[in-house]
Structure formats: structure tokens, C-alpha cells
Amino acid sequence: MSGSDAASRDEAPRLMTRERWVEVIRIVAVAIITWLYWQERMPRPLLLAGIAAGLYPLARIGITELWTARKIGTEIFVTIATIVALLGGEDVAAAVLMTIILFAEFIADFNTDRARASIKALIGAAPRTAVIRTASGERSAPIAELTPDVVVLARAGERIAVDGTVVAGQAAVDEAVITGESMPIEKGAGASVLAGTVVMTGAIDIRTDKVGGDTMFARIIALVENAESQEAPVQKLADRVAAWLLPAVLVFLVAVFIVTRDVRKIVALMIFTSPAELGLATPMVMIAAIARAARQGILVKGGVHLEQLAKSDVMVFDKTGTLTEGTPRLFRAVATDPALTEDELLRLAASVDRRSAHPLAKAVVDAAAARQLDLPEVEEFENVHGRGVSGRVGSRRVIVGNEAMLDDRGVTRPLDRVAHPGTTVLVAVDGRVAGYLQFGDPIRPAANALLAALKADGVRTIVMLTGDNEEAARAVAEATGVTEVRARLLPEAKVAAIDELRAGGHVVTMVGDGINDAPALARADVGIAMGARGTQAAIEAADIALMTDDLKQILIARRLARRAYRTIMENLIVGVGVVHVLGITAALAGWIGPIQAAMLHVGPDALVFLNSIKLIKVQLEP
């Protein structure tokens, strides 16, 4: 997404605020004064003044935290280390230590803000004006002035300003900023479009449905920007460790000083016992991961949900619309009357069903169209709610419905039907059963591969919860590799099933459509709503919302979550643990002094930052 990368680079100058420029001047001034003092071209009082000027912001923050929150933070720790070095006569070491720490803190703070800014850059910039069509012609208007039903014009190269419906024109629209879809999608009259997407070719007139903060684009930005406020458990653990680590370190340093009476060694140890990287190890990872997910069309409401997804050992799926396409399809038409062919039976049934709005009727008509069957007009059409339809096709009286419908009309039965896990509809012609139609909800082509990949990725149990009948549920489970099936469940029964799984010590992720499954999504450790594009209810119900119905996004979200959690562990164990243990060992052995320790201290900061920020470009495609 080259446009996003460019936007991220353009954001850097904006982050250099007046306060940051003051900080840069402060750091450079202290560095110059230190170098001049080391070259014996600067008196000690000026060096002390420079150190005081550089130390002031750190000391202020450290004392404030100590006084108001009873927290011994990194700032107070560095302040103490600098003062100890000065009292021990290590003037240059004190100045170098403080300068390098100030520089490291500045880089860490700047890059953290830059990572946050990249979130909005990855999603894109919201348009501020739109061209609207009026009776008197076209004119430009601020977004704030737009209202529903206003017609907005969007041309090639322009970003669509509203959520709405195309009323005229044709265009190819790039929806990558919302859905992660890499190819432009053709839009014509009747198609829905979203604010923030880009018209690549053509031009369209859009009737406005939602504007401003109500658009999907605005909701995505708000969700992603607020996501980092929800700390993951591992992040809270790091904060707690830092809280008790500093007092423990101070006790350790006092003990070392009592034994060695070596101020240089104490200063070097203080540098490597600073827990500054603990404060960077997790937040930066979560910021980068959430930004990466947003670019993929995956909205994560907080780091806590990423961590829970990474730890999930049970994945629960709704059936209809999740593992299946959610739209009935005619699997086969069987003619039991020797006088009728299969195509003739389908032609008669589709002629009657063409006047019905029922989903099964539509499936029949679609199947007839696929076979290019000619459908004559039906006369004397009748629709009986909950039972079926009837009518006269030419000289024949045709009934398409369930057994109750045929019983009501005095049609001779029984019918020897072939068992099928889907739905069966009977067809009667002139008072006799002539055949039957069998329907099913097609399994998504990617379902089997997804479930196999999840099992390979550490998910031990895959459960399907559905309100459908046991037979249909078992058929889908066997075809996809589901390990446990629970059928004929009402919404409250799905919630009870989630509770039962969690009570067994499992971390449960629930995947559903975000509307019918809202209670179960809310009860699971992680709720994932599929196809949340344009659906406020789906986004509100779930912890993670997928902007498309692509099952592959579930695996991408899982892999990103596991990668983020692994990165945090790498930061804590390698970037903080190993590096600091080696530094403390070298300082205790006398192999390095304060100046070398201060210079080496930059390493863990850079390591943590680079390891965290790589998540923005990591390859996640299955």
C-alpha cells in the first residue's frame, strides 16, 4: 500500500512539534557542552549547568510520578543515576549517560507517535468536501453540510465522501482502505459504496445514506485509534513488573556499593538495570499489529483481543452465513412422474416460483435460468404463507410446496423421497405428485482449508453452533472438518455453550455474522464478526470485525495475533532480558564503564523498536 507508506513518511514533519524541537536543541546543546568539557575547553560550572538543563524535564516527570502516583519510573531512575555519577566525580559519564538516555527517550517517544500516526495514514485521509448535484447544477460543499438523500458526484481519482447507493454512472472503485481487497470493484446503479474508498476509473452519482461520523470510514478510524487504550494482559504484566523492579534494583545497587565502594561500577549498573524497554516492549507491538490489521480490512478493538486470539485453543463457528454461503441453492430436481423430464419439472416449478419472493423460490428460478429454460407466464397464482405457491402454467395446475400444502389441496401421496440433509420441496402437477426439489446451503469453498489451517496453527477443537437441524449440521461438519456439532440451538443456548467451553478452561473465539450471534460473540473471549462492512451492529457486537466475508481473513487475524504475541515475548526475553543480563554481567566484571554502558544501552531500544514495527509489513497471506 504505497500510498499509505508515503502518507506515513509525510506525517513525520507534523510530529516535530515546537516541544520536540526544544527537546532536540536541549539534547544537542548538552552533547556539545559535554564534548567541549571533555576537550578541556569548557569549565565545570557550565557543564553542570548543561546537565541541569538536560536533566530538568526528566527530574520533573520522575518527581511528579513519584509524588502523585507513588511510582518510581524510568525518569527518576535516570535522574538518580546522573546525580550519583556527579557525586562520584564521573562528570563526563554523567553527561554522556544523560544525553544518551535523553536521545533514546526522544527516539522512542517519536517513533511511538509515528506508529500511532501511521494507523490513520494506513486507512487514508477523509475527504473534506464533495461535489453535489442540484437542480441548478454542480457545486462543491463541505462534508459537514451534506445530508441524507443528497446526490454526490465522484470522478476518477477522487475519494468518495459518503456512504451511499449509486444512482447513475459506472466506475471501478478501490475499497482496499475498508476491506483490504486489492482489486478495484465495478460499481453500477444500485451498488453500495463507502466513504474513504477511491474511484479508479469512471464516474458515479451517489445518493447519500450516511455522512461524517456515521460513515463506515469514520467508525473504522475511531475504532482503530481507540484500540490501543485497551491494554493486553501481557502489557499490564509488564507495567506491574516495572513497578516492583525499580525498588528491587535500587536495593541491589546499594548492596553492590556497600561491597565494592566503586561509583563507576554503580553508574554502569544503573544504566543496564533501567527498565525503559519494558515500557516499549508491548505498546509498540500492539500499535503496529492493530495498524497492520486495519490495512488488511480487519478491525481490532484492542490489544487484549489480539492476545486472547493468539491464545485461543477453541474456535466456535456459526453455520449459516459463516461456514456456508447463507443462500439456499437447488441441488437437484427429481421427476417421479415418468411423463416428465427433470428439465420439464424444473420449468413448471420455476414458472410458478417466479412470482414468489421466498429464498427457495429464487433458488429454483436461478437454477432454471442457469439451464436456459423458457418460463411461461403463470395464471391464477396463489401464495400460501408458510406452505407454498400454486398456479396454472398453460393447461396444467402446478403446486410447489411442503406436505401440508399438498394435503390441503388433496394431492395424492405418499412420495418415496431420497434422504437429503437439506430442505425438500414437493411439486404436484394436475393433482398428483410429479417430483421434488432438494435444496441446501452451499459450504464456502475455503471452509475446509481454513479449518485445517487453524488446527495446524494450534486450535485444538473446532465447534459448530447452529439453529439448523442435526442432519444438516452433521453434513456440513463432515465436509469441513468440524470436530464438535451442537444443533437446534436458540441464541441463549449458544451463549450457554460458550459458557460451558470457557468453564472447561478453554480460551474461546466465536465467529459469526455479528447480528444473530451477537450474544454469543459478546460472551466469548474473542468475538469475530464476518462481513461487518456497513453494519453498525456487527462492529458493536464483536471484538474483531472483518470487513469482508472472506474466511481467509480469520486465519490472517489469528496469524497476526500469534505473531504479535511472539514479538512481545521476543522483546521481553531478548531485547530486555538477555541484553540487560549481559550488560549487568559486563558491568559487574568491570569490562565496561559508564560511558560504554550508556552507549550500549541504545541497542535494546533500537532492537525493541525495529522488532515491533516490522509487524506493519509482515507477510500474513495463507
The conformation of residue 478, written as its DSSP 8-state character, comes to H
Evaluate whether 80 touches 270 at the Cβ level (below 8 Å): yes
Q: Which amino acid is at 180?
A: G
CA-to-CA dists, residue 178 to 80, 309, 340, 519, 577, angstroms: 49, 22, 51, 25, 39
121, 124, 126, 128 alpha-carbon torsion, rounded to 10°: 80
413 CB-contact burial (10 Å; exposed 0-12 / middle 13-18 / buried 19+): exposed
Q: What b-and-e string marks burial along 41-50, b requiring 16 or more CB atoms within 10 Å of the CB?
A: ebeeeebbeb
The grid coordinates of residue 247 equal: 525498588
CA 343 – CA 349 distance, rounded (Å): 10
DSSP H or E segment with residue 153: strand 151-155
HSE-CB at 253 with a 13 A cutoff on CA atoms is 24
Evaluate whether 528 touches 542 at the Cβ level (below 8 Å): yes
Q: For 501-553, give the DSSP string.
A: HHHTT--EEEEE-SSTTHHHHHHSSEEEESS-TT-HHHHHH-SEEESS--THH
DSSP H or E segment with residue 373: none
308, 310, 316, 320 alpha-carbon torsion, rounded to 10°: 110
Q: State the Rg of the chain over Cα.
A: 33
CA 306 – CA 562 distance, rounded (Å): 8
Q: Say whether 318 is catalytic.
A: yes
Listed residue (407, 400, 405, 389) closest to 429, CA to CA: 400
Q: How many CB atoms lie within 10 A of CB 445?
A: 9
Listed residue (291, 289, 298, 8) closest to 180, CA to CA: 298
Question: In Å, how far from its chain's centre is CA 396?
Answer: 56
Listed residue (418, 400, 421, 420) closest to 409, CA to CA: 400
- Which ranges of 180-323 does DSSP label H, i.e. alpha helix? 216-227, 233-260, 263-272, 278-281, 283-295, 303-311
> Considering 163, 209, 318, 513, which one is annotated as catalytic?
318
The grid coordinates of residue 7 equal: 502518507
Please report where in the chains the cell 515491533 appears, as a residue: 612
Angle at 347 between CA 342 and CA 353, to 5 degrees: 125
CA 72 – CA 53 distance, rounded (Å): 21
CA 559 – CA 57 distance, rounded (Å): 41
The grid coordinates of residue 587 equal: 558491568
The conformation of residue 419, written as its DSSP 8-state character, comes to P
Q: What is the largest CA-CA distance in the chain?
A: 114
The grid coordinates of residue 362 equal: 429464487
Say whether 418 sits in a helix, a strand or coil.
coil
CA 526 – CA 315 distance, rounded (Å): 9
Give the catalytic positions in this structure. 318
